[in-house]
Each structure stands twice: as structure tokens, then as C-alpha cells.
Amino acid sequence: MTGRAVPTLASGDLVLRPWSAADAPAVLRLADDPAARAWSASLRPVHTPEQARAWLAGRVGADRVHWAVSDSATGEVVGRVGLHRIDDEQRDAEIGYGVLAGRRRTGVARGAVGAALGHAFGGLGLARVSLRHAVGNQASCAVARACGFTLEGVERRRLIRPRARAARCRQAGRDRGHFFCSPLSR
């Protein structure tokens, strides 16, 4: 399957860039975190370099645009953000993101989500981006609010987690006309 073009984007002290095969160790660092495993179904099975390479291969597709989020000064991968389930006819997509444990609460998620939304509404011409996150994931809820997503409801039994009951999931959306992402605060 052919993937969409993934542009390099800048957002403050962050650079969003296409993933490369050399990023497998960074993917392992992102996945080797209890919070990432709890909230990210795609990272749960990533434990080995081979699985990290498979995860990277899964970020490429005609219906997705995924970025490695790196520190502009060091080049270190500090997070990830992606638009997936892109539907050109309906002009919508879903967004997902995650941040390296040591860089949480520093504005990385807001900066990355803001840049990805700019590309979604500008470069891709989408009219809507939606977001789903577990009700218990308060950090993701805060990012969604800061980036202007509107809570649209709660889906019951939406997220399945290992050795746990199915979790409730918040559904939120952002329309093109309501583009806003709060400034980063340090």
C-alpha cells in the first residue's frame, strides 16, 4: 500500500517529521512505559526491535499521516502524533498522540497536536478531526480541551485493555472553523 506524503512541520521547539527505520529504538522507548501501554493499543505489542519495525511499517498508508515528534535542539524523539482513518470524501480523520514519559506536562502533546491539526485543516483540507480517549486518561482529556476539541459523548465498552474490563471512551471533535490550540505554557 502506498502512503501519503508526510511533510516536516515545526511547532515551537518541536519538529514533526516522517518516521524512519532508524527510529525503532525510539519506538521501543515510547512503548516501554506503563502509561503508554495502558492507553495506546498500538504500542501494547511492541517489546522487541522487530515489533518496533512492524509498528513503524503500520504508520504508513493511504489513510494515514504519522509523525515522529522530535526536540528541535537535540533531534531526540519525544513523542508521536498521527492522523488516521483519513476519509477524503467525508473530509475527516481521527488523531492520536503520545509523549515520552520524561517529557509529559511540558507542552509536547499540545504543540504536536496543534501542528497536526494545522496540516489536517490546511494541507489536507479536512473539515473535521475526531479524537477518542479513555475516560480515565485525564492527561489526554486536558490536551483535547487545550486544543479546542469539544466533548461529544461517552462510548461504553469502546476500549479493550488487557486483563481489564472494557473501558468507556470520550469522543471529541474539532471542526475546521474552530481552529484553536492554546499557547504552550512552561
Residue 47: predicted pLDDT: 95
Three cell numbers at 76? 531526540
Closest CA to 110 of 155, 151, 64, 141: 141
Q: Is residue 156 part of a domain?
A: yes
Q: Using one digit for the tens of pLDDT, what is the confidence trace for 147-165? A: 888 887 776 655 544 444 4
The answer to whether the CB of 30 falls within 8 A of the CB of 97 is: no
Q: Is residue 184 part of a domain?
A: no
**Domain holding 153: CATH number?**
3.40.630.30
pTM of the model: 0.86
Distance CA 60, CA 83 (A): 11
Q: Is residue 1 part of a domain?
A: no
Distance CA 31, CA 155 (A): 26
Residue 64 domain boundaries: 9-178
Q: Is residue 186 part of a domain?
A: no
Q: Is the dihedral of CA 108, 10, 39, 28 positive or negative?
A: negative
Residue 161: predicted pLDDT: 47
Q: Is residue 155 part of a domain?
A: yes
- Average pLDDT on 175-182 reads 57
Residue 178: predicted pLDDT: 56
Distance CA 112, CA 95 (A): 11
